[in-house]
Amino acid sequence: MNLPKLVFRNIFRHSLRSALTILGIGVTITAFGLLRTLVGAWNTGVEASSDNRLITRNAVSFVFPMPLAYQNQISSIDGVEQVTFANWFMGVYVDENQFFPRLAVDANTFLETFPEYLLTREELETFKRERNSCIIGSVIAERYDLQRGDIMQVTGNIYPGTYEFVVRGIYRPRDQTTDASQMFFQWDYLNERLIQDSPGRANEVGWYIVTIAEPSQSAGVSEAIDAIFLNSRAETKTETEASFQQSFISMSGAIIQAINVISIIIIGIIGLVLSNTMAMTARERNQEYAVLKTLGFKSNFITRLIVSETLLISVLGGILGLAITFPLTDAVQEYIPAGWFPVFEITPLTIGLSALAVAAVTIFASFYPILYAKSQSIVDGLRQIS
Amino acid sequence: MKNIPLSYSIRNLFARKLTFFLTLTGITLVVFVFCAVLMLAYGLQKTMVDTGRADNIILYRKGSDSELSSGVDRNLVNIIATLPQVGRSASGQPIQSPEVLTVINLDMKSNSSMGNISVRGVTPGMVFTLRPDVTIADGRSFNPGSREIIIGSAIQKRFQNTNIGQTIKFGGDEWTIVGIFDGDGSAYESELWGDVDQLMQAFNRQGAFSSVTVRLAELSQLPSLQETLESDNRLLTLKAESEPEYYRRQSRYLNIFIRVMGLSITLIFSIGAVIGAMITMYAAVSNRTKEIGVLRALGFKRRNVLASFLFESIFLSLLGGSLGILLASLLQFLTFSTINFGTFSDITFGYILNREIILYGLLFSITMGLAGGFLPAVQASRQNIVSTMRGG
């Protein structure tokens, strides 16, 4: 007997019910996909990390700076290729809700440490040459309609005063995980202002980014760096870029946990909707199962029939869900304030998890109908015909 | 003709136990998440608004949006103390606390990673007059002029080596924990407190406080204080804001995040549960085609049939909703700790249920019942008497 044909015909028997179930699963898978994308967006910082970069910051916390002089001291350690640094400037651009990071960076070295920010040679040269120049990510350029030569005015909050920058370069992301929503300007430009306005805060660095020759040496080099500054006024804590990023994620661990719990609840809801449909179907077809058994089909066949039908409905629902998730994710990204989630993309992992959810739900929802079909005797099934 | 008895609808629901149970559970879960999100947002709001009083005014540098990036010069503090709007204690002292706020890292108990914690340098003695809700729960307060700190009860539970008598190293020195304080559910419970002068010295702040908090002599004087700041050249750089307003602003992004993300996701997957209810109700209608025919033949009107099926669906969803709310109310025993995007430091708050949330939960479940039951109920009411009786 042609199983696929029977399964296919079966789902059209109650086409409204099947359509509703598929729609229900689809919408719910969409919610699941969005949540997983959100978790993925949270993790992009870790994924974008390079394993040959270390971050050195003040051991007390990120709020406290370190002396500029540390750059040379760190450079002298074996295994260190390059040391660059940055300060968190932020400030207010346009209005308070524009969050993308604005960093004062060491113009000579910073962009060499981050080869994933693609710039032309000319852009890079101009940036190094012009004191008040800045480089922005392509996402920022698009969002604020900025072009080379445009001026960005930023009002400082951490560093008081109004600052004007000329856009001299627009970097493109090399990888999908690369954050193209940042703005960099010359640390020297900031420092010159600080020497004038508040000399007590000049010549200080927010964090160092240390490029090492061999990723396998990261632990040793980190220890060597921290050992130099032990018992100084500004002790340091050095870790790989990935674990630095991870520590920020850990701090919002409860949110990730909550999202995970909701994800499981969502799968539960899909399971309930599908189970409901399949349970109804099984009861209605009791006589048919009896007829099939009478004709000599083994109960294995009926099991396969039920599982195939459940699978078909849930797979169709899953495909529908993913089809909605893609455009919806784009729409959500437009809506999220700039800088909240630099990368908001559906990852293969999300698709894989959705597929796994569909599979799990299929097994769950087939369970009762199979048990039911097996428990019914042929005679009972046929008697219902009355 | 009278309406169809409600018991007819209710009994029908229980006639098909499995379907009833599956649909009910779906709705319960959706309402549970819906309420949990609202409870969390409300818990955050309550923690933030409870942090401070309307007549406590925080003064910080204009242009900086938080204490963390603010700086208030030491000599401004003396000027502020003389302002007529600042309240006086029984002994005639101005009720004010110049403070310094910064962030340090501590190791969490739950995993090996570090968390950011706000450390606040406060004015010994006066700070407890200013914030009477803060009380020492265990141990004693820090001694002025010493490297002692007290720790908020919320972080004491979450971070390693934070018991009384243990020391924390920062600012080039060891600080001994001498007490644990409660803040009546406020954000202060997520902070460490010590003597402001000691902390300024340790952090090398060179005479710049982060903020000054003052008690108004009278609640209505905030506008007058703001005017004074505008008109006095020495105080032009300062901004005055009431504590509840300030803390609300500090938590606005976390609040938006919880509400917008939480509710929009919930709304999306609630459609799934609504469709589940719809499937159940359609099945109920098609199984009872004959019954509907009988009811109509007995003289019940179409609208009676419509109302009866709609009631069945609403009853189902209300029952699910109530269970969901009940389940969510158990969350009140839990607390939720995360990083506050506004201050970059750890904040602990609870899930708090209030009447509004219960009401929203019930309204939400009724809406789900209506949405899921309406079309099937219309179908039921449209059945033709003769053909339904003939069917089957």
Residue A371 in contact with partner chain B when CB distance is under 8 A: no
Tokens of residue A312, six digits: 């078909």
Instruction: Flag whether A230 is in a domain.
Output: yes
Instruction: Flag whether A245 is in a domain.
Output: no
Q: Tell me the per-residue pLDDT of A307-325, one tens digit each, with 9 for 90 and over.
A: 999 999 999 999 999 999 9
Query: Is the Cβ–Cβ distance between B314 and B370 less than 8 Å?
Result: yes
CB contacts, 8 Å: B265 with chain A? 31, 34-35, 262
CB atoms B116 and A62 under 8 Å: yes
Instruction: Flag whether A242 is in a domain.
Output: no
CB atoms B338 and A252 under 8 Å: yes
- Taking the C-alpha atoms of B359, B365, B370 and B373 in order, what is their torsion angle to the nearest 10 degrees? -160
Please check whether residues A98 and A167 belong to one and the same domain: yes
Query: Is the Cβ–Cβ distance between A11 and B255 less than 8 Å?
Result: no
Minimum Cα–Cα distance from B208: chain A residue: A200
CB contacts, 8 Å: B65 with chain A? 92, 96, 157
Q: Tell me the per-residue pLDDT of A179-196, one tens digit each, with 9 for 90 and over.
A: 998 999 999 999 999 999
The CA distance from A270 to A264, in Å, is 10
CB contacts, 8 Å: A368 with chain B? 18
Please check whether residues A34 and A67 belong to one and the same domain: no
Burial class from Cβ neighbours inside 10 Å (0-12, 13-18, 19+) for residue A137 reads buried
Per-residue confidence band for A386, with pLDDT thresholds at 50, 70 and 90: very low
- Residue span of the structural domain in which A217 resides: 60-234
CB atoms A24 and B283 under 8 Å: no
Is a pLDDT exceeding 70 seen at residue A338? no
SS3 A384: coil
Instruction: Flag whether A117 is in a domain.
Output: yes
Please check whether residues A216 and A324 belong to one and the same domain: no
CB contacts, 8 Å: B170 with chain A? 60
Write the CA distances from A226 to A223, A232, B34, B156, B215, integer angstroms: 5, 10, 47, 28, 44
CB atoms B279 and A276 under 8 Å: yes
Residue from the list A59, A157, A276 with its beta carbon closest to the beta carbon of B276: A276
Q: Which of A182, A204, A234 is the last residue of a domain?
A: A234
Q: Cα distance from B207 to chain A (closest Cα, Å)?
A: 11
The CA distance from B131 to B121, in Å, is 14
Q: Cα distance from B128 to chain A (closest Cα, Å)?
A: 27
Q: Cα distance from A129 to chain B (closest Cα, Å)?
A: 30
Please check whether residues A219 and A74 belong to one and the same domain: yes
Write the CA distances from A92 to A142, A145, A158, integer angstroms: 19, 17, 10
Residue A265 in contact with partner chain B when CB distance is under 8 A: yes
Instruction: Flag whether A54 is in a domain.
Output: no
Q: Which of B113, B160, B269 to mutate to test the interface with A (most CBs of A within 10 A)?
A: B269
Instruction: State the average pLDDT for chain B.
Output: 90
Minimum Cα–Cα distance from B62: chain A residue: A157
A190, A147, A142: which is closest to A166 by C-alpha?
A147
Tell me how many residue pairs between chain A and chain B have CB atoms under 8 A apart: 145
Please check whether residues A32 and A129 belong to one and the same domain: no
Residue from the list B23, B25, B111 with its beta carbon closest to the beta carbon of A250: B111
Please check whether residues A176 and A294 belong to one and the same domain: no
- Please state the ipTM of this predicted complex: 0.85
Instruction: Flag whether A191 is in a domain.
Output: yes
Please check whether residues A266 and A134 belong to one and the same domain: no
CB atoms B337 and A157 under 8 Å: no
Query: Is the Cβ–Cβ distance between B149 and B177 less than 8 Å?
Result: yes
Q: Are strands A102-105 and B114-122 parallel, antiparallel or unpaired?
A: unpaired
CB atoms A61 and B204 under 8 Å: no
CB contacts, 8 Å: A158 with chain B? 64, 69
DSSP string, B233-281: GGGTTEEEEEHHHHHHHHTHHHHHIIIIIHHHHHHHHHHHHHHHHHHHH
Query: Is the Cβ–Cβ distance between B375 and B184 less than 8 Å?
Result: no
Number of domains forming the structure of chain A: 2
CB atoms B65 and A157 under 8 Å: yes
CB atoms A262 and B26 under 8 Å: no
Please check whether residues A69 and A213 belong to one and the same domain: yes
Domains of chain B: which residue ranges? 6-49+252-390, 56-217
The CA distance from B388 to B44, in Å, is 56
Query: Is the Cβ–Cβ distance between B93 and B126 less than 8 Å?
Result: yes
Per-residue pLDDT of chain B (392 residues; tens, 9 = 90+): 578 888 888 888 888 888 899 999 999 999 999 999 999 999 998 888 778 889 999 999 988 888 888 889 888 999 999 999 999 988 889 999 999 999 998 888 877 778 889 999 999 989 999 999 999 999 999 999 999 999 999 999 889 899 999 999 887 789 999 999 999 888 899 999 999 999 998 887 777 899 999 999 999 999 999 999 999 988 988 999 999 899 888 888 888 888 888 888 888 989 998 998 999 889 888 888 888 888 888 888 889 999 999 999 999 999 999 999 999 999 999 988 888 877 788 889 999 999 999 999 999 999 999 999 999 999 898 888 887 777 54
Please check whether residues A262 and A186 belong to one and the same domain: no
Query: Is the Cβ–Cβ distance between B305 and B318 less than 8 Å?
Result: no
Instruction: Flag whether A239 is in a domain.
Output: no
Packed helices B302-329 and B6-15: angle between N→C axes, nearest 10 degrees: 60
Q: Cα distance from A297 to chain B (closest Cα, Å)?
A: 28
Q: Tell me the per-residue pLDDT of B71-111, one tens digit each, with 9 for 90 and over.
A: 898 889 999 999 999 999 888 899 999 999 999 988 888 77
Instruction: Flag whether A243 is in a domain.
Output: no
CB contacts, 8 Å: A21 with chain B? 275, 279
Tokens of residue B26, six digits: 């779906």
